[in-house]
C-alpha cells in the first residue's frame, strides 16, 4: 500500500479543489476533469481511512518475519537487513498513535525491499516467503485501489 501523502494532506487539497470549482466563474473542460478526479479521490481516501490501519499492522508482522528468515539464510545485504529490522523494532517499542503506524509501515517496507533484493534469485522457502509477502501487499493494495480508474483526461 502507499500510505503517503497523508490522508489529511489529500483531504486539504481535495477540499480546496472542490471549493475552487464551486466559486468558479465559468465551467471549462478542465473544471469537469478536476471534479471527476476529486470525486474519485474522495472515494479512494475513504477506503484508505477504513482499511489502511489494520492492513498495515498485519503486513508489518509478515515483513518482519521475512527479514528474520532472510537473515537466518544469510542472503543479500545482511548488515542492511539487520539495521532495518533494528530500526523497525526500536520504533515499534516506542510506538504510539496512527502516524507512528505509518512510520512503522515504512520501516517494515524497507525490510521487505531488502528482502526482495536478497531473495529474488534464491530458491526454496525464503523465496516463497518473499513472494507470499508481495502477494499479501498486492491483495491489500487492491482493496484500497478498489474501483479507482485512471481517466478524466
Partner 1 sequence: MELEEISNRLTAWLVDDRALGDRVTNLRQLSGGFSQMMYAFDLHTTGAVQALVLRANRPEGQSITATDRFAEWEIVESLSAHGEIPIPKALLYDNGHALGVPCFIVEHVDGVTISQHFAAHPTQKTDRVADTLVDSLAAIHAVPPADLPVTLDRPTSWEGHIDSLIGKWRKLERTGLEPDPFVRYLANWLEANKPAAAPMRLVHGEVNNDNLLICPDGSMTVVDWEYAHIGDPREDLGWYRTVSASVPPDVMADNIDRVCERYRKISGLDEDVINPISIAYFGLLAGVSVYDTLIGAPATVELSDQAPVLAAYMSAVLASAQLGWLRVIDALDSNAATTGLASS
CB contact at 8 A, 126 and 76: no
Residue 101's nearest CA partner among 52, 44, 144 is 52
CA distances from 14 to 11, 28, 34, 41 (A): 5, 18, 10, 8
Q: Which residues bind partner 1 (CB under 8 A)?
A: 1-6, 9-10, 12-14, 16-17, 28-30, 33-34, 37-38, 40-41, 44, 105-106, 109-110, 112-113, 116-117, 120-121, 133-134, 137-138, 141-142, 144-145, 148-153
Q: What is the DSSP letter of 150?
A: -
Minimum distance between the CB of residue 126 and partner 1, rounded to whole angstroms?
14
Q: Choose between 128 and 138: whose C-beta lies nearer to partner 1.
A: 138
Nearest approach, Cβ of residue 107 and partner 1 (Å):
8
CB of residue 54 vs partner 1: minimum separation in angstroms? Answer: 18
Closest CB 18 distance from partner 1, rounded Å: 9
For partner 1, which is the closer residue by CB, 53 or 152?
Answer: 152
Amino acid at each position: 500500500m502507499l500510505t503517503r501523502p497523508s490522508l489529511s494532506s489529500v483531504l486539504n487539497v481535495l477540499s480546496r479543489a472542490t471549493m475552487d470549482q464551486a466559486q468558479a466563474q465559468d465551467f471549462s473542460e478542465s473544471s469537469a476533469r478536476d471534479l471527476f478526479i476529486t470525486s474519485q479521490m474522495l472515494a479512494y481516501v475513504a477506503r484508505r481511512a477504513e482499511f489502511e490501519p489494520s492492513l498495515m499492522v498485519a503486513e508489518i508482522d509478515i515483513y518482519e518475519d521475512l527479514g528474520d528468515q532472510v537473515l537466518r539464510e544469510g542472503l543479500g545485504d545482511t548488515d542492511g537487513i539487520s539495521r532495518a529490522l533494528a530500526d523497525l523494532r526500536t520504533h515499534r517499542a516506542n510506538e504510539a498513535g496512527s502516524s507512528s503506524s505509518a512510520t512503522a509501515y515504512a520501516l517494515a517496507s524497507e525490510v521487505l525491499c531488502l528482502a526482495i533484493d536478497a531473495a529474488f534469485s534464491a530458491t526454496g522457502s525464503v523465496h516463497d516467503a518473499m513472494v507470499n509477502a508481495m502477494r499479501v501487499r498486492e491483495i491489500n493494495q487492491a482493496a484500497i485501489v478498489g474501483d479507482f480508474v485512471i481517466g478524466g483526461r
